[in-house]
Chains A and B, each alone.
Chain A
Amino acid sequence: MARIIVVTSGKGGVGKTTTSAAIGTGLAQAGKKTVIVDFDIGLRNLDLIMGCERRVVYDFVNVINEEANLNQALIKDKRIENLYILPASQTRDKDALTKEGVEKVLNDLAERFDYIVCDSPAGIEKGAMMALYFADEAIITSNPEVSSVRDSDRIIGMLSSKSRRAEQGLEPIVEHLLITRYSPKRVNTGDMLSVEDINDILAVKLLGVIPESQAVLKASNSGEPVILDSESDAGMAYQDAVDRLLGESREFRFIQEEKKGLLSRIFGG
């Protein structure tokens, strides 16, 4: 049985697409047949982050409308075996995704993939609902910042009341918390919510903590998911998250400020 994982947040710009690309790539590297589906209709961006923007011919909505079949729309990653992308459409039609249409495409994907990673759009409107409705697991992506944490809690509410699993009284969606853009230094100076703070408020099992990192911008500039930059802090943190998702236990790294020299310790920084 394929696992459907939604990467969701409520608030925009917190790192969902970065995360979908990294985690999807990591799962494929671990030998799982994986497809990453862009649910951000009208604002397609996963293709750019994955570096396949010039290979998009057909998209998710074309498949729903039967203007193309899955084989025509799926883009096979050139770097990683077992990795495919289903791009979002650029239509402005908000109703392009129907529950029936999405269900049919996900069912077809489930026949050939182990993992279906759904990159949700921001908000709590229809697009975000569609992305989470059929999920088995959710990666709730949150920045250490008040509005992002509050929106995460709203999304948690929706996962447990508005999803297919909730409506049909099935086992609830497995929730994971992923904190991104974390800066241990600012936590130490009292300017940023800590991992413990966020955990106290949301009470969702922690999947990973991704540091604020230069590597993310570099990765998006070059269309390489950041997990492939395996020397970088963010790349390693995403790799740990993938390993945890697959049931391994990994120590949390990059949550303490790096040790500094004596001078800078005395004078702060």
Chain B
Amino acid sequence: MSLLDYFRSNKNNTAQLAKERLQIIVAHERGQRAGPDYLPELRNDILQVIRKYVEISPEQVTVQLEQKGSNLSVLELNVMLPEDNK
């Protein structure tokens, strides 16, 4: 590695950033694919309802369907509210 490369690789390593962003979004999208088709829409509806009362962004709502045994699945809903909106 050249001297210039040395400085570049430490400061502006955008490839590393790209990898981290990809890992997050790909994991998220795989999770969605695994669930039923209506989950994203359900999540959006829930988001709209909450937004009537509190301003939150999409990543503060997660909706997951977990299969527990053969005839039971649990819908898990997680909403993170911002501090100042209590």
Residues of A whose CB lies within 8 Å of any CB of B are 145-146, 149-150, 153-154, 157, 161, 187-194, 197, 200-202, 264-269
Contacts and interface: CB of A to CB of B under 8 A. Distances in A.
B68 interface: no
Nearest first, the 3 A-B pairs at minimum CB distance are A268-B4, A190-B13, A268-B2
10 contacts: A145-B18, A150-B26, A153-B30, A188-B1, A189-B5, A190-B8, A193-B22, A197-B18, A268-B4, A269-B2
B86 interface: no
Given A188-B1, A266-B3, A154 B29 contact: yes
Given A157-B33, A266-B2, A191 B15 contact: yes
Interface in B32-86: 33
Nearest to A153: B26
A201 B24 CA distance: 10
Nearest to A263: B2
User: Chain A contact residues: over half helix, strand or loop, or mixed?
Assistant: helix
Contacts of A161: 33
Contacts of A188: 1, 5, 9
B22 A146 contact: yes
Nearest to B11: A190
Given A154-B29, A268-B3, 13 more contacts: A146-B22, A149-B22, A188-B1, A188-B5, A189-B8, A190-B8, A190-B12, A193-B22, A201-B22, A201-B26, A265-B2, A266-B3, A268-B5
Interface of B: 1-5, 8-9, 12-16, 18-19, 21-23, 25-26, 29-30, 33
A190 B14 contact: yes
B41 to A, nearest CB: 18
A266 B6 CA distance: 11
A190 B15 contact: yes
Contacts of A154: 29
Nearest to B19: A197
A269 B8 CA distance: 12
Most central of B14, B22, B29 by chain A CB within 10 Å: B22
B2 A190 contact: no
B77 to A, nearest CB: 24
Contacts of B15: 187, 190-194, 197
A265 B1 CA distance: 7
A168 B45 CA distance: 34
A204 to B, nearest CB: 12
B9 A190 contact: yes
Nearest to B33: A157
Contacts of B21: 146
A264 to B, nearest CB: 8
A175 to B, nearest CB: 15
Nearest to B25: A150
Contacts of B19: 193, 197, 200-201
A157 to B, nearest CB: 5
Contacts of A146: 18, 21-22
Contacts of A150: 22, 25-26, 29
Nearest to A186: B15
Contacts of A201: 19, 22-23, 26
A201 B19 CA distance: 8
B21 to A, nearest CB: 7
Nearest to B13: A190
